[in-house]
């Protein structure tokens, strides 16, 4: 990460106790930690003087764009450099993976595919001219020359899929048909739309036949059963990362070195894509230094195109560093959004309230560029089952292009949209069949070993039933009728409503890879390098603490967001989802091959996946470095020293008060162990790589005569300062020696069809008041239950929970962006017309959160940053229905919409 | 032609200026681009989110905060201003010595990304200073905290840990509530 005061303050961990976030002191004193805080003069080795860049975005997509008219800037304020599509084409600077990210600039003569598409970038070499020019260009649509009215280019859907499952008689037994057992339906798409396969389709016909059968059965349910079908709409949301898109770059044409400070959740991808951007360029690129600041995104800065604009701008700075930072209007205009979805959900329920079948058909709006739309769609629809077991299910999704701002991977990744609406339907069904809404949920809850709608068995024990049992006994729930009557009697003009919703959210992506390096210095300091980037959730605090059980203390020094890993010389095609099994089997014979090098900070992945990697590195450092040193110390002296009388095993090792102990052996400090390991030239550092495809990859290794199998797929080691010449000669990979695995066990590629197996469950009860005159909703209180395994830092978990709920309230009640020509792509949106919930609107003093205790001492931490924001959405809708007697099917449920029905 | 004014002020106890700056320059630009004080964070540019609030110590009107994104330097010319960089002390060895509010934010894990933190620190600081002059009843603390800080937007935290931290500072600091007065020791 970019140099900052973080790490200079040792006070965050003292006396064996976490006192505050590792980055806390720097952040609370307003130090430069974000990329947006950085100026060229702050960066060592950079020139002091910097230039300023401004992107120009077309505000419409219904006319042919002819070019710019910047005469308003004449004579003094014209940009010193103007870059457009023609200039980039001449220099062969191209957007990496343009199908995914879009083009840098719209070429004149075309209709923009979306509102807000950049057409050019200006650079001014001094701030005062820059700001004066910006003022003349902002909100000034006369600078764009448009021709005749025309339609935007036709495009095929970004993605579509269908997940069909018919379970066996036993929910834990074999399926008759499922994606996991058989396949996912991937239909052809073209400009006319999605072409769902026919029943005689050679690859997908059987699934389509089952789909038709399920639909037909649901339309004509058996005697005593009823099918409830509703249509929902979930709106477009701006994640509103408070730090806007920004970055700072400096390109020295003489040396060919490009330096970029970026703000992104996916630094590794960004760095590699900048190299791709320059791969055919006539501008020389000899070296790239890409670093990130501490940032924030909620998915808005995950695989976004903006870092490439920063890098591209730097190329044209005439040797000056160039700063490119969107203002809030531009951020609304161009930064990634949450997908809006139209959702048709149907549930067939028998006379006892048992769910028999479910169908869900989702149509998402991906906006102007594909980005993650295909996978957001599939993740959304595979989550639609929420917390229930479905004997049969037919789940389909398509995500379509539009002229709206590009939708990306915002917190929830489509599951908020699907699960919230399922929870609204279940609540309505309970009303319709006269059953307690939590009782109905309990009756149908998915239990351990049962399959999800993809036919995969979720990992471990499913505890949402435990949460439902707690919630249904809560006084808020049991006394809701009395509380409603009492509240409304005391508050004339206000309707009381209580709502509940429960969900379980996947974490991870099905291709989670991480790299961690841990080593001890001769002085006994513990140094770590890690791929984790900080997005506010606290990974750079928690990952340092993860070493403690294995190494006696947190890491002393750390480098996060590392992209350059010479000590892990792996190769990958980065096609973890699409490589056929045979090909992967062949590729994996090469011990240097992995399916993916590393993952971004996204998908609530740090707590589980990064923690696993950190744990493995710590365990291996203990096993390969510290334990042998301990044995050597304990075994020193005549007749095998103090250890001879004791049958010592590695499993005996544990840390007490920062000292390594085993049975009755003398406690040893890390400093002493390190000194010994370095003196003897033993292993003093490990670097590991991990990969998870809904199960951990394991591999076998032989290191210094030890054979072992571990849940990692690559390993490098470093020997201490006293290493002999032969070992030193082996340390050719960034000072490390790669240890080829002797055998590897990658989870079969068929597990891609699982959709997910890792879930964190969460439920929320919310009570609110609805003003009968204005429709205004006031949150009175809310109560949330969460299960997330072992909490690494409970305060961070609680903070995520509270923040997620506030964001969910915004989705449920306030936030809304048009997806047409009035939408944010026209450059006129800001907080003055986009309401983010404030403290007075989230029950700041009246909320509680409860986390279930872990099942065991080794119950792994689960990713929970997304799940916590989802149940409140459905719960608010259900509470408003309870208050008003009216069901709403479209978000946000704003005061004006409520007012219309009251 | 860029019109300029001569600007001077006292910022974090230091005299700044006189310096020629564009007459329409906003305070946040002055702080960030001219003085390299980037802890005052620009977010909305409309005065809506309060991430950029700085403290003005006005002998006539007292102490209050303004949104630096919509407050022009012309208006602040000659005034005394505190930004986040001037809130913490120094421990004598070059390390920051956080104020009571900053310490409480640390201990409560109040912030996540922290982009909005400087604004919260400044408004909470002003609130504490106001309560030093005009203490309130303890049962009004939650309402007063909400009134003072509700103008601040935080997208990460749900506000709870910020609010609890400020409440704790107010309730535990002698002199801020009627129930917890400053007790002056009688001279021997």
- Per-residue pLDDT tens for A257-313? 999 999 999 999 999 999 999 999 999 999 999 999 999 999 999 999 999 999 999
Please check whether residues A583 and A701 belong to one and the same domain: yes
Record the pTM. Answer: 0.97
Check A242 against B49: CB less than 8 A apart. Answer: yes
- Per-residue pLDDT tens for B44-59? 999 999 999 999 999 9
Quote the tokens at residue A852.
């279930």
Question: Is residue A448 in some structural domain?
Answer: no
Within the 35-94 window of chain B, which residues sit less than 8 Å (CB to CB) from chain A? 36, 38-46, 48-49, 51, 83-85, 87-88
Q: In chain A, which residues have their Cβ closer than 8 Å to the Cβ of B163?
A: 839, 844-845
Give the domain ranges of chain B: 4-85, 89-172
Owner of token pair 């103007």: A82
Pick from A327, A796, A836: which is nearest to B45 by CB? Answer: A327
Check B117 against A28: CB less than 8 A apart. Answer: yes
Please check whether residues A834 and A892 belong to one and the same domain: yes
Pick from A800, A840, A847: which is nearest to B150 by CB? Answer: A840
ipTM of the complex: 0.98
Mean pLDDT on B4-13: 98
Q: Indicate the residue among A298, A317, A334 that finishes a domain.
A: A334
Please check whether residues A465 and A556 belong to one and the same domain: no
Q: What is the pLDDT of residue B183?
A: 85
Check A799 against B41: CB less than 8 A apart. Answer: no
Instruction: Look up the CATH superfamily of B4-85.
Output: Beta-grasp domain (3.10.20.30)
State phi, psi for A271 to the nearest 5 degrees. -60, -45
Given a cut of 80, whether residue B185 has pLDDT beyond it is no
Q: What is the domain count for chain A?
A: 4
Q: What is the pLDDT of residue B126?
A: 98
Q: Is A64 on the interface with B (CB under 8 A)?
A: no
Question: Is residue A170 in some structural domain?
Answer: no
**Residue (of A869, A864, A870) closest to A507 by Cα position:** A864
Q: Cα–Cα distance between A608 and A486 in angstroms, integer?
A: 45
Please check whether residues A143 and A48 belong to one and the same domain: yes
Pick from B22, B109, B153: which is nearest to A836 by CB? Answer: B153
Q: Which CATH number does the domain housing residue A534 bear?
A: 3.30.365.10
> Of all residues in chain B, what percent carry a pLDDT higher than 70?
99
Pick from A76, A294, A328: which is nearest to B43 by CB? Answer: A328
Q: What is the pLDDT of residue A558?
A: 94
Q: Is A553 exposed, middle or buried (0-12, 13-18, 19+ CB in 10 A)?
A: middle
Residues with Cβ within 8 Å of B55's Cβ and at least 6 positions away in sequence, in order, are B63, B64, B65, B81, B82, B83, B122, B125, B126
Give every strand in the sheet of A706-710, ordered side by side.
A706-710, A698-703, A743-745
Owner of token pair 């399920």: A214
Angle at A270 between CA A265 and CA A271, to 5 degrees: 125
Check B113 against A805: CB less than 8 A apart. Answer: no
pLDDT < 50 stretches in chain A: none
Q: Indicate the residue among A282, A301, A334 that finishes a domain.
A: A334
Name the strand (E) or helix (H) holding A875: helix A871-884
3-state secondary structure of A120: strand
> Of all residues in chain A, what percent carry a pLDDT higher than 70?
100
Please check whether residues A500 and A518 belong to one and the same domain: no
Cis peptide before B107 (omega within 30 of 0): no
Question: Is residue A184 in some structural domain?
Answer: no
Instruction: Tell me how many residue pairs between chain A and chain B have CB atoms under 8 A apart.
Output: 190
Q: Is A243 on the interface with B (CB under 8 A)?
A: yes
Within the 88-127 window of chain B, which residues sit less than 8 Å (CB to CB) from chain A? 88, 95-96, 98, 102, 105-109, 111-118, 121
Q: What is the pLDDT of residue A396?
A: 98
Look up the domain containing A784 and give its range: 458-505+757-902
Q: CA of A239, closest CA in chain B: separation in Å?
A: 9
Q: Indicate the residue among A754, A782, A810 that finishes a domain.
A: A754
- Please report the sign of the dihedral spanned by the C-alpha atoms of residue A617, residue A618, residue A622, residue A623: negative
Question: Is residue A436 in some structural domain?
Answer: no
Q: CA of A381, closest CA in chain B: separation in Å?
A: 26
Please compute Rg for chain A using Cα positions: 29
Please check whether residues A605 and A748 belong to one and the same domain: yes
Check B155 against A244: CB less than 8 A apart. Answer: no
CB A122 within 8 A of CB A51: no
- Cα A467–chain centre separation: 25
Class of domain B89-172 as given by CATH:
mainly alpha
Please check whether residues A29 and A39 belong to one and the same domain: no
Q: Cα–Cα distance between A181 and A748 in angstroms, integer?
A: 12
Check A36 against B38: CB less than 8 A apart. Answer: yes
Q: Is A878 on the interface with B (CB under 8 A)?
A: no
Pick from B24, B39, B146: which is nearest to A844 by CB? Answer: B146
Please check whether residues A654 and A696 belong to one and the same domain: yes
Confidence of residue B184 (pLDDT cuts 50, 70, 90): confident
Confidence of residue B188 (pLDDT cuts 50, 70, 90): low
Pick from A20, A799, A832: which is nearest to B106 by CB? Answer: A20
Q: Cα–Cα distance between A787 and A463 in angstroms, integer?
A: 7
Which value, to the nearest 10 degrees, does the dihedral of the CA atoms of residues A80, A86, A87, A92 take? 160
- Per-residue pLDDT tens for B74-96? 999 999 999 999 999 999 998 99
Check A806 against B159: CB less than 8 A apart. Answer: yes
Q: CA of A842, closest CA in chain B: separation in Å?
A: 7
Quote the tokens at residue A257.
């070195």
Pick from A9, A28, A135 the residue to mutate for testing the B interface (most B CBs within 10 Å).
Answer: A28
CB A513 within 8 A of CB A689: yes
Question: Is residue A387 in some structural domain?
Answer: no
Question: What Å distances lie between residue A107 and A97, A399, A563, B44, CA to CA?
Answer: 18, 26, 33, 31
Please compute Rg for chain B using Cα positions: 18
Pick from B155, B164, B165, B168 the residue to mutate for testing the A interface (most A CBs within 10 Å).
Answer: B155
Question: Is residue A300 in some structural domain?
Answer: yes
SS (H, E, C) chain B: CCCEEEEEEEECCEEEEEEEEECCCEHHHHHHHHCCCCCCCCCCCCCCCCCCEEEEEECCCEEEEEECCCCEHHHHCCCEEECHHHCCEECCCCCEECCHHHHHHHHCCCCCCCCCHHHHHHHHHHHHHHHHHCCECHHHHHHHHHHHHCCCCCCCCCCHHHHHHHHHHHHHCCCCECCECCCCCCCC
Pick from B38, B102, B152: which is nearest to A28 by CB? Answer: B102
Within the 21-60 window of chain A, which residues sit less than 8 Å (CB to CB) from chain B? 21, 23-25, 27-34, 36-39, 41-42
Within the 792-811 window of chain A, which residues sit less than 8 Å (CB to CB) from chain B? 793, 795-796, 798-807
SS (H, E, C) A429-496: HHHHHCCCHHHHHHHHECCCCCCCCCCCCCCCCCCHHHHHHHHHCCHHHHCHHHHHHHHHHHCCCEEE
Check A799 against B84: CB less than 8 A apart. Answer: no
Question: Is residue A383 in some structural domain?
Answer: no
Beta bridge partners of A714: A689
Please check whether residues A626 and A485 belong to one and the same domain: no
Check B106 against A25: CB less than 8 A apart. Answer: yes
Q: CA of A900, closest CA in chain B: separation in Å?
A: 28
Q: Cα–Cα distance between A535 and B112 in angstroms, integer?
A: 8
Which value, to the nearest 10 degrees, does the dihedral of the CA atoms of residues A399, A404, A408, A413 take? -60
Question: Is residue A432 in some structural domain?
Answer: no
Q: What is the pLDDT of residue A829?
A: 98
């Amino acid at each position: 990460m970019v140099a900052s005061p973080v790490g200079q303050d040792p006070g965050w961990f003292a006396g064996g106790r976490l006192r505050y976030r590792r980055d806390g002191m720097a952040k609370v004193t307003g130090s430069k930690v974000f990329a947006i805080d950085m100026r060229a003069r702050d960066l060592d080795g950079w020139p002091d003087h910097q230039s300023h860049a401004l992107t120009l975005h077309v505000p419409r997509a219904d006319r042919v764009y002819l070019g710019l008219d910047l005469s308003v800037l004449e004579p003094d304020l014209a940009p010193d450099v103007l870059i457009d599509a023609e200039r980039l084409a001449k220099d062969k600077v191209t957007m990496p993976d343009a199908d995914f990210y879009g083009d840098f600039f719209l070429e004149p003569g075309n209709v923009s595919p979306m509102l807000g598409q950049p057409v050019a970038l200006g650079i001014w070499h001094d701030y005062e001219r820059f700001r004066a020019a910006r003022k003349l260009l902002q909100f000034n649509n006369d600078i764009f020359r448009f021709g005749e009215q025309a339609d935007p280019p036709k495009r095929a859907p970004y993605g579509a899929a269908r997940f069909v499952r018919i379970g066996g008689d036993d929910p834990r037994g074999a399926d008759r048909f499922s994606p996991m057992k058989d396949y996912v339906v991937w239909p052809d798409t073209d400009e006319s739309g999605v072409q769902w396969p026919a029943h005689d389709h050679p690859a997908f016909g059987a699934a389509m036949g089952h789909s038709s059968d399920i639909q037909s059965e649901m339309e004509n349910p058996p005697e005593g059963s009823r099918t409830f079908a509703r249509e929902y709409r979930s709106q477009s949301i701006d994640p509103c990362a408070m730090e806007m898109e920004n970055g700072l770059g400096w390109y020295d044409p003489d040396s060919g070195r490009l330096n970029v400070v970026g703000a992104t959740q996916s630094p590794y991808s960004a760095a590699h894509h900048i190299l791709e951007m320059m791969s055919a360029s006539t501008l020389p690129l000899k070296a790239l230094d890409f670093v990130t600041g501490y940032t924030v995104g909620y998915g808005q800065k995950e695989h976004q195109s903006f870092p490439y604009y920063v890098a591209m701008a730097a190329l044209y700075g005439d040797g000056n560093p160039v700063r490119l930072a969107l203002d809030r209007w531009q951020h609304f205009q161009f930064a990634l959004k949450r997908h809006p979805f139209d959702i048709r959900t149907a549930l067939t329920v028998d006379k006892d309230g048992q769910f028999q079948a479910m169908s869900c058909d989702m149509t998402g709006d991906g906006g102007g560029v594909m980005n993650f739309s295909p996978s957001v769609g599939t993740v959304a629809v595979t989550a639609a089952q929420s917390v229930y077991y479905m004997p049969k299910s037919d789940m389909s999704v398509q995500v379509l292009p539009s002229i709206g701002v590009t939708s990306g991977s915002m917190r929830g990744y489509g599951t908020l949209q699907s699960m919230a609406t399922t929870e609204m339907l279940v609540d309505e069904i309970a009303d319709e069949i006269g059953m307690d809404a939590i009782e109905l949920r309990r009756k149908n809850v998915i239990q351990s070993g049962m399959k999800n709608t993809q036919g995969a068995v979720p990992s471990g024990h499913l505890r949402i039933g435990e949460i439902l049992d707690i919630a249904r006994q809560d006084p808020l729930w049991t006394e809701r009728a009395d509380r409603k009557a009492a509240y409304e009697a005391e508050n004339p003009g206000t309707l009381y409503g209580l709502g509940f919703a429960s969900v379980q959210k996947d974490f991870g992506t099905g291709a989670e890879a991480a790299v961690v390096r841990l080593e001890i210095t001769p002085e006994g300091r513990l140094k770590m390098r890690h791929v984790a980037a900080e997005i506010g959730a606290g990974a750079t605090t928690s990952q340092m603490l993860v070493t403690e059980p294995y190494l006696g203390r947190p890491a002393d020094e750390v480098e996060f967001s590392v992209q350059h890993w010479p000590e892990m010389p792996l190769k990958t095609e980065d096609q973890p989802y699409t490589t056929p099994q045979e090909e992967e089997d062949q590729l994996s014979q090469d011990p240097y091959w992995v399916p993916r090098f590393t993952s971004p900070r996204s998908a609530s992945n740090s707590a589980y996946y990064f923690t696993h990697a950190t744990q493995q590195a710590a365990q291996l450092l203990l096993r390969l470095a510290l334990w042998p040193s301990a044995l050597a110390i304990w075994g020193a002296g005549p007749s095998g020293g103090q250890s001879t009388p004791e049958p010592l095993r590695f499993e005996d090792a544990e840390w007490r008060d920062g000292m390594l102990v085993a049975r009755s052996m003398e406690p040893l400090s890390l400093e002493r162990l390190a000194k010994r390991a370095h003196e003897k030239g033993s292993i003093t550092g490990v670097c590991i790589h991990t990969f998870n495809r809904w199960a951990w990859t394991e591999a076998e290794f032989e290191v210094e005569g030890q054979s072992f199998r571990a849940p990692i797929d690559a390993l490098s080691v470093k020997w201490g300062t006293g290493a002999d010449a032969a070992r030193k000669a082996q340390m050719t990979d960034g000072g490390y020696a790669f240890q080829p695995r002797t055998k590897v066990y990658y989870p079969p590629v068929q597990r891609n069809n699982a959709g997910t197996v890792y879930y964190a469950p969460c439920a929320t009860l919310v009570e609110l008041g609805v003003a009968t005159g204005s429709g205004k909703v006031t949150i009175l209180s809310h109560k949330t239950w969460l299960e997330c395994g072992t909490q690494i830092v409970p305060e961070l978990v609680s903070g995520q929970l509270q923040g997620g709920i506030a964001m969910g309230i915004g989705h449920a009640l306030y936030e809304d962006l048009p997806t047409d020509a009035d939408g944010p792509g026209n450059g006129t949106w800001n907080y003055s017309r986009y309401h983010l919930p404030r403290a007075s609107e989230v029950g700041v003093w009246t909320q509680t959160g409860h986390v279930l205790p872990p099942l065991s001492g080794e119950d792994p931490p689960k990713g929970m940053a997304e799940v916590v924001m989802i149940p409140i959405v459905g719960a608010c809708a259900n509470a408003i229905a309870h208050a008003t007697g009216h069901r709403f099917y479209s978000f946000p449920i704003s005061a004006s919409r409520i007012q219309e029905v009251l | 032609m860029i019109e300029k004014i001569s600007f001077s002020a006292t910022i974090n106890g230091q005299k700044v200026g006189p310096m020629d700056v564009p007459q329409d320059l906003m305070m946040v630009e002055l702080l960030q681009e001219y003085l390299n004080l980037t802890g005052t964070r620009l977010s909305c540019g409309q005065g809506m989110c309060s991430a950029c609030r700085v403290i003005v110590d006005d002998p006539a009107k007292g102490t209050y905060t303004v949104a630096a994104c919509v407050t022009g330097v012309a208006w602040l010319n000659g005034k005394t201003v505190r930004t986040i960089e001037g809130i913490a002390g120094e421990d004598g060895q070059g390390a920051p010595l956080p104020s009571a509010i900053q310490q409480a934010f640390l201990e409560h894990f109040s912030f996540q990304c922290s982009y909005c933190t400087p604004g919260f620190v400044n408004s909470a600081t002003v609130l504490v200073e106001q309560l030093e002059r005009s203490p309130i009843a303890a049962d009004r603390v939650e309402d007063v905290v909400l009134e003072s800080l509700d103008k601040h937007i935080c997208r990460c935290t749900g506000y709870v840990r910020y609010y609890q931290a400020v409440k704790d500072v107010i309730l535990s600091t002698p002199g801020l509530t009627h129930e917890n007065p400053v007790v002056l020791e009688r001279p021997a």
